[in-house]
Amino acid sequence: MSLSQEANPLLEDWHTPYGLPPFERIHPEHFTPAFDAAMLERQREIDAIATRTEAPSFGNTVAALDACGQLLGRIRMLFDNLSLSETSPALQAVEREMAPRIAAHESAVYQNEALFMRLHALYERRASLGLTAEQVRLLERFHLDFERAGATLGAAEKVRFAAIVEELAALSTQFAQNVLADEASFALTLATPDERAGLPSFVLDAALQAGRERGMPEGTYVITLSPSLSGPFLTFSERRDLREQVWRARGERGAHPGEHDNRPVAARIVALRQEQAALLGYATYADYKLADRMAPSVAAVDELLQRAWKPAVEMARHDRERLSALAVELGQPTPIAAWDWRYLAEKVRQKSFAIDDAQIKPYFSLDAMQAAMFDCASRLFGVRFKECHGIALYHPDARVWEVMDSEGKLIGVFIGDNFARQTKRSGAWMSILRSQSGRDGGTLPIVLNNNNFAKGSPTLLSFDDIRTLFHEFGHGLHGLMSNVQYERLAGTNVLADFVELPSQLFENWAQEREVLLRHARHVETGEAIPAELLERLDAASRFDQAFTTVQYVGPALIDMALHARTDTAPVDIAQFQADEAAKLGVPDDIGMRHYLPHFQHLFAGDDYAAGYYVYMWAEVLEADGYAAFTEAGDPFDRGTAERLLTWIYSAGNSIDPATAFRTFRGREPAVEPMLEKRGLLAAPARG
Ligand SMILES: [Zn+2]
C-alpha cells in the first residue's frame, strides 16, 4: 500500500492533549514513509548549518544542531516505544528494515566534514567565546559525539565505519527479536494440583492471567519466562523437576540452534565492535566505551567489581552450607543446584525471619506502591501527580498522569505501563516520547515507565517488584525534573555510569519505614503493615545478598572481559562464557543473572556494552548519596533534597557528573557504603 504524505499522521502537527501521538490513527505502514521524509528533512537542516557562509557561531552551529531533526526525533521516540512495549510482526518488519537505514543516516550526519569543521573551529576557541557553562558543555559534547562517530577518519575509513554501524544496527535488532521469540515460545502449563504444589495464591493468579493472555482455555495455569512469574515459581514451586525446566529455559534463551540462535549474532557484534574501536585508535572496544564514561579505565572497573565479588563468593560459601543442610533435612539431593537456591533460601528466610512473601504481599498492592512513589517525589521535590482519564494510548494498560510543580504549573506528563504481555520486551525501563528543553519557551517532557509485573486482581508486588517500580520512577523523575536549555544535555542524556544514580537512589525510599507505614496497607482490610513485620522484613532484606551480588557481578566481569579482548580471531560465545565463568569461579548453584546469548544490555544496543558494571558504579554514588539523608536524620531532609534536585535530578548532563556529585555531597564518593549495604564489609574472614 502506498500512502500520500498528507494522509500520514506521523508527519502532521499533533493537536492532541499534551501533544501526545495520535495513537489510534497510527499504523505500522505509516512508519517507513514517515522515516524517509523525516530523514530527508533532517539532512536538509544539517546541510543548511554546514554550508552557511557566515563564520561559525554558537547560535548558528551548536544551538542549531541541538534544535534540528525534531520531526525525526519525534517519530523515532514513538517507534522505539511501540517496538519495546507493544510490538507486532508488522512493526518488527519495519524495525528490521529501518534500523540499518537510520544508522546510515546518523553516520552521514556525524561524519559531515563541513559541519565538523565548524564545530571544531568553535571547540578550539571555546574558552574565549563568552559562553555559559552549559553552552561550553554542549559544544564539548557534540565535538565528542562527532569524534566517536568517525568524523576525524579518512574518506575510506569513514565508509567502512559507517558500514559497521549499519550492520551493528541490524544485528542488534535481530538479537532483541530473537530473545523475544524464545520468550514468547515458552509456556509451562501446570495441569495438575501436584504441578502447582507450593505456589502461593498470587503466583497462581498471575499464572491464570498468563494463560488468558496466551489464549489458553479459561482456568489454565501457565508459567512464562517473565521474571515476575518465573522468579516466584523458582522460589516457591515444590516440584524440583519443573523448577529445573524453568531455570534452564530462562538461561538458554537465545542459545537454541536454528533461526533464533543469538550466539553467532553476538560473535559478529563483538568482531565489528573490535574493528570499530581499532579504526578510532583504541586498543579495545572497552577502552573506546570508557573514554565516554566516569570510570577512568578497565582496570578501575575490574577493581571495583572484584571488591564486591571476592567477599560475595566467600559469603555465598557460608549460605551454601546452610542451604545444603536444609536440603538434607528435606530429603532433597545435594550438592544443591541453581534451581534449588531460591527455593531453599526462601525456606531459610521464612524460618529465620518468620517471613513469607505470600503473607507480606497483600500489603503491597501496585496501586498503593504507586501512590507511595508519587508521595515520595512530592515530599522531596514538591511535585504533584494527577491522573488523566479518557486519553487513548497504545494499550489499555498504559495510564497517564499530569505532573505539576509546587505552584501547580504543568512540568511534564508521566505514562505508567506496568504489566507483562507477549508483545512487550522483558525487563523494566524508562523511556521518553518527548524531551525537556528550554527551546521555544520550554518543551514539556513526556516520560514512560514500563514494568513487567504479572497482572492480578488486584496486582500484588514482591519486594523486588517494588524496588523495580521505584527504580524506573527514579529514572522517570530524572527525565521529568530536568531543567536545562539544550536537549542533548537533558534528563537521562548523561554518562552511562551516572545514569543509574537517580534510579538506584530512589529505591531507598521504597524501604523507608515511615513510607511503608503510611502506604503499605492490607489490600482487603486497609490495615497498615505492622511495625514488627516491617522490622523482620528489613532484616530479611539483607539476607541472601551474596546470591544477588554474585549473580550480578559475574556477568558484569564477563561483559568487561569480552569487550576488552585484544584477540581479533572470531569469538565462540558459548566457549568464551564457559571459560570466563570457570576462571572467575562462578558458583554453578548460583549462576548468572544474564548469559551472553540473551544479554540484551550488551547486544540489543550498545549503551550498556562494556557497561553492565554501571549499576555498581552508580551504586557507589547512590549508597554514599543516600547516606547524606541518613546523616541529616530525615529521609526527606529539605536541604539535602534541594541539593539533590539541583545537582542530580534536574541538572541532566549540563555539568560534569563527578563535579555534580561532589557539589551535592560536599566531598568525593566513598565505596564503603555500597559494600556495607550489600553486607560485604563484615564478610566472614577468609580461609
Ligand atoms: Zn535503571
Residues 6+ apart with CB under 8 A from 202: 232, 358, 361, 456, 460
Residues 6+ apart with CB under 8 A from 98: 31, 32, 35, 79
Stated length of the chain = 687
pLDDT of residue 360: 85
> d(Cα 9, Cα 30) in Å, to the nearest integer?
8
Q: State the CB neighbour count (10 A cutoff) for residue 49.
A: 21
- What pTM does this model have? 0.89
Q: State the CB neighbour count (10 A cutoff) for residue 325.
A: 13
Which 8-state DSSP code applies to residue 390?
S
The region of weakest confidence among 304-318, 363-377, 527-541 is 527-541
Residue 409: is it exposed, middle or buried by C-beta count within 10 angstroms (0-12/13-18/19+)? exposed
Task: Give residue 68 CA to ligand 1 midpoint distance, Å.
Answer: 28
pLDDT band at 111 (very low <50, low <70, confident <90, very high): very high
pLDDT of residue 228 exceeding 90: no
**Active site members:** 472
pLDDT of residue 351: 87
Query: For the segment 56-97, what is each residue's pLDDT rounded down to a tens digit?
Result: 999 999 999 999 999 999 999 999 999 999 999 999 999 999
Task: Give residue 85 CA to ligand 1 midpoint distance, Å.
Answer: 17
pLDDT of residue 389: 96
> d(Cα 495, Cα 102) in Å, to the nearest integer?
23
Query: For the segment 182-199, what is each residue's pLDDT rounded down to a tens digit?
Result: 998 999 999 999 999 999
Residue 683: is it exposed, middle or buried by C-beta count within 10 angstroms (0-12/13-18/19+)? middle
Query: For the segment 327-336, what is each residue's pLDDT rounded down to a tens digit?
Result: 999 999 999 9
pLDDT of residue 686: 40
* Cα dihedral 389/392/393/398 (nearest 10): 40
Read off the pLDDT of each residue in 296-322 and give the average, rounded to a whole number.
95
Percent of the chain with pLDDT strictly greater than 90: 90
The region of weakest confidence among 47-56, 204-213, 386-395 is 204-213
pLDDT of residue 1 exceeding 60: no
pLDDT of residue 354: 83
Query: For the segment 635-649, what is each residue's pLDDT rounded down to a tens digit?
Result: 999 999 999 999 999
Question: What type of residue is 457?
Answer: S
Task: Give residue 54 CA to ligand 1 midpoint distance, Å.
Answer: 43
pLDDT band at 682 (very low <50, low <70, confident <90, very high): low
Task: Give residue 471 CA to ligand 1 midpoint distance, Å.
Answer: 6
> d(Cα 404, Cα 383) in Å, to the nearest integer?
6
Task: Give residue 203 CA to ligand 1 midpoint distance, Å.
Answer: 25
Q: Phi/psi class of residue 633: alpha, beta or left (left: φ > 0; alpha: ψ in -120 to 50)?
A: left
> d(Cα 325, Cα 331) in Å, to the nearest integer?
10
pLDDT of residue 4: 54
Query: For the segment 468-483, what is each residue's pLDDT rounded down to a tens digit?
Result: 999 999 999 999 999 9
Task: Give residue 428 CA to ligand 1 midpoint distance, Å.
Answer: 8
Task: Give residue 362 CA to ligand 1 midpoint distance, Å.
Answer: 26
Task: Give residue 429 CA to ligand 1 midpoint distance, Å.
Answer: 7
Query: For the segment 592-613, what is each residue's pLDDT rounded down to a tens digit?
Result: 999 999 999 999 999 999 999 9
